Chains A and B, each alone.
Chain A
Amino acid sequence: MEFDLQEDQIILKDSVKKFFEKEVSKDLIRELMENDTGYSPELWKKMAELGWMGIPFDEENGGYGGTFLDLAIIFEEIGRAAFLSPFFATVVLSGILLQNHGSKENKQAIIPNIVDGSVISTLAMLGKKGFYDKEELGLNAVITENGYTINGSAFFVPYAHVADNMICVTQTSDGITLLIVDSKSEGIDITPLHTLTGKAHDCVVNFKDVIVPADKIVGEIGKGWEYIEALFPKINALLSCQCVGGMQEVLRFTLDHLNQRIQFGKPLSALQVVQHYCSDMFIKSETSRYPAYRAAWLVSENLECKKDASIAKSWCAEAYKDVTKAAHQVTGGIGFTYEYDLHLFSKQAKTIELLFGNGAFHRSIIANEMEL
């Protein structure tokens, strides 16, 4: 067992952290929550130049063949910076699916462009009710002679409004099938939704008789859900790491505030009740770190991790939410202002808690894995 990062991982972590500190002010994040693109094309380019987009991809597809732990480190720092971008949608939701199950042609057509930052991609899956359930998907596809015709509406599709293409999780007569769709295809209509984290992060995408050529399938007909299920633990590990970074940062600036804010003639941080709130926040953040990284490590070692990834996601995401709630409590009025940074984190925390399954969802996976 080795609970510390290796030297090259520490270097990566520092460099990502410094990048965000230099490039991403909290005002920029407010802007990304308010404007109608929801990301910064300029920073997107810089991230690609730094090579982040290439981490999980094979060299033959233009990637850099990094480890999953490297990706986990980036997610921790994304969390710490409360950064908003289509990185998760493009690299993980779409990119990793393609890398693992896509045809050679499709991989070569898309992944190099993801790596160099010229393409944004996403995953269209959920129905209106937002259930992560294969019986409740938003899209149907009819198998035709030359390919497929998609109808329906996919909800909560991250960054669809700026995506060049999306992988669609469709219900067909032969089971769930993944199809790559060009966002400019005829019959597609995209409307950004206003969510907790902003005006342009998730979208509803309406499909009306959208025609998809047969060779745009990812993997095999009817195997789509298998692929999605194989992706879930990876998603859970990365989101957990994002929570870890977010929690640490919230605790850091909350402590700063508490040490400065004088009431009753002394800093708030001298009050025992306030100290105990902070200890609870610290316990949550300390105990989140290793489950999150353990899940990421299991992925990187290609080991079974369905249960461990759900343990991490359930624990870390609820912990992050709890930490932000405690921070709101002890920061009083200032913590409820738009100007103070806490809401950037607390909005993301609640979002991540629900993203790819809330705590109860993951506990039900854990119960299944325990063979109850």
Chain B
Amino acid sequence: MEFNFSKEQLSFREEVKAFIKEAKEQNTYTFMDNGFCEVLSQEFSKKMSKKKWIGLSWPKEFGGKGKGYIDKVIMIEEMLKVGAPLGYHYVADRQVGPGLIHFGSEYLRNKFLPPILNAENTWCLLFSEPGAGSDMANCKTNAIDKGDHFLVNGQKVWNTNAHVSDYGWALVKTNHDPKTYKYNAFSEMIIDMKSPGITVRPIYNTLGIHSFNEVFLDDVKVPKENIVGKMDNGFRQIMTNLDYERSGIDRLLQNASVHIALMDYIKTTEQNGQPLSKDPLIRDQIAQLEIEYEVGRLYVYYVSYLLDSGKIPSSETAVGKTFCTTYESKLVDMTMSIMGMPGLLRNGSPEALYDGSVGQSYLWSVPYTVQAGSVEVLKNIIAQRGLKMALK
């Protein structure tokens, strides 16, 4: 056992910090919480691409930098601490690339990996449907084999950034035999978002922000070669993909600026002549947050260590995501409570502290414990996959 970073890892962290410092000084990029999904800056992504930091942990033979997942966590950790705008390449780097590397044909890899690495296109995930949220196997979007292409019909929903994406990574039903075991009925495919027949409609979230969408597919033609991996094996592949989606430090640091604001607030705000940081109750709460943060952080590094050792985590990513997103929700809730009334001020409001980021983050935190597998669904996975508890 050894819990220190290697020399290379320490200097890599410094390199990332220097990169961020320089990018911030340029004053052209937006740094904010949830920036990794909400702020799309192709320019910033290209800047990272030049460093080969997109595909950092992909194998070299696929154009990646061939570094480990621990390295990737180090990089993302530094980026998220300052809310770097990673949205343009984030999903493709995290999920699409590894998905193609694992399951994709040579054709798909050659066609799609280089533009992802070069930050030339952006992606969305087309999994959820009105009738298939937690129960993804209830997916109804149909793909009918028409000889040289598939004809796709159906509706997807909650698709982050679908309105600005070049491609969608979709789960569709390809086996229509009612006798087929339901988990063997789906395939993964890549859909060009500019295809005729696609309509993307905005959905406004509780912040009044348009970040996710509903996507209608009417007789959309998808080339046969766009099927990823084996026909009818999509459900299993998606479960593997999701393990990448769930395993990162992005589930711990989505609202990192809240912690910075909190620490500043308690040290600089006085009540009856004494800083809040001297209040025993507040100290206890802050220390509890610190404990959970450190526990979660160590666990995220552990999961990346598993990936680096060639193990495929499953219940571990569910443990990590459950734990870390619960922490994030608690962080911002507790911060709001400690700040009191000023915590309610939204960004843009007169008198707002910390650009209103705390109130903003509070609203954003609501779905942290829902998206990419609700905490309850993750606990089912832990119990059934991890602890082998009975199914019925």
Answer yes or no: are A and B bound together in one complex.
yes
- A residues adjacent to B (C-beta < 8 A): 1-6, 9, 69, 251, 255, 258-259, 266-267, 269-270, 272, 274-276, 278-280, 282-283, 286-288, 290-291, 293-294, 297-298, 301, 308, 311, 314-315, 360, 362-364, 366-367, 370, 372
* Inter-chain contact B322/A1, CB cutoff 8 Å: no
Instruction: Say yes or no: B380 contacts A272, CB within 8 Å.
Output: yes
User: Separation in Å of the A119 CB from the closest CB of chain B?
Assistant: 31
**Chain A residue at smallest Cβ distance from B294:** A311
A-B contact count, CB below 8 Å? 136
Q: Within the complex, what minimum Cβ distance (angstroms) separates A55 from chain B?
A: 16
Cα A23 to Cα B313 in complex, Å, equals 35
Partner of A6, one of B1, B299, B315: B1
A294 to B277, CA, bound (A): 28
Interface residues of B in 263-322 (CB under 8 A from A): 266-267, 277-278, 280, 283-284, 286-288, 290-292, 294-296, 298-299, 301-302, 305-306, 309, 315-316, 319, 322
Question: CA–CA, A32 to B390, complex, Å?
Answer: 36
- B383 interface residue, CB < 8 Å from A? yes
Q: Are A290 and B387 in contact (CB under 8 A)?
A: no
Of A3, A276, A278, A370, most B-chain CB atoms within 10 Å? A3
Please, which residues of chain B bring their CB within 8 A of the CB of A291? Answer: 294-295, 298
Known: A279-B380, A282-B383, A315-B292. 17 other contacts (CB 8 A): A2-B1, A3-B306, A251-B387, A278-B387, A279-B382, A282-B382, A287-B298, A287-B319, A291-B294, A293-B1, A294-B298, A311-B295, A363-B288, A364-B284, A364-B287, A367-B286, A372-B278
Does the CB pair B387–A314 fall under 8 Å? Answer: no
**Chain A residues with CB below 8 A from B384, complex form:** 275
Is there an interface contact between B2 and A1, defined as CB atoms closer than 8 Å?
Answer: yes
B3 touches A294 (CB 8 A): yes
Q: Is the CB of A283 within 8 A of B3?
A: no
26 residue pairs bridging A and B, Cβ less than 8 Å apart: A1-B4, A3-B301, A4-B1, A5-B1, A266-B392, A270-B390, A272-B380, A274-B389, A276-B379, A276-B383, A278-B382, A282-B382, A283-B322, A287-B296, A288-B295, A290-B3, A290-B299, A293-B3, A308-B294, A311-B294, A363-B287, A364-B280, A364-B283, A366-B287, A367-B283, A372-B267
Distance of A288 from chain B, by nearest CB (Å): 8
- Nearest-Cβ distance from residue A138 to partner chain B, whole angstroms: 25
Select one of B4, B287, B322, B389 contacting A269, CB under 8 A: B389
Known contacts A314-B291, A363-B291; is-contact A372 B286 (Cβ 8 Å): yes
Q: Which residues of A sit under 8 angstroms from B379, Cβ to Cβ?
A: 275-276, 279-280
Within the assembled complex, what's the spacing in Å between the Cα atoms of A5 and B278? 41
How far does the alpha carbon of A269 sit from the alpha carbon of B278 in the complex, in Å? 46
User: Which residue from chain A places its CB closest to the CB of B308 in the assembled complex?
Assistant: A1
B70 at interface by CB-CB < 8 Å: yes
Give Cα distance in the complex from A298 to B294, angstroms: 15
B367 at the A/B interface (Cβ < 8 Å)?
no
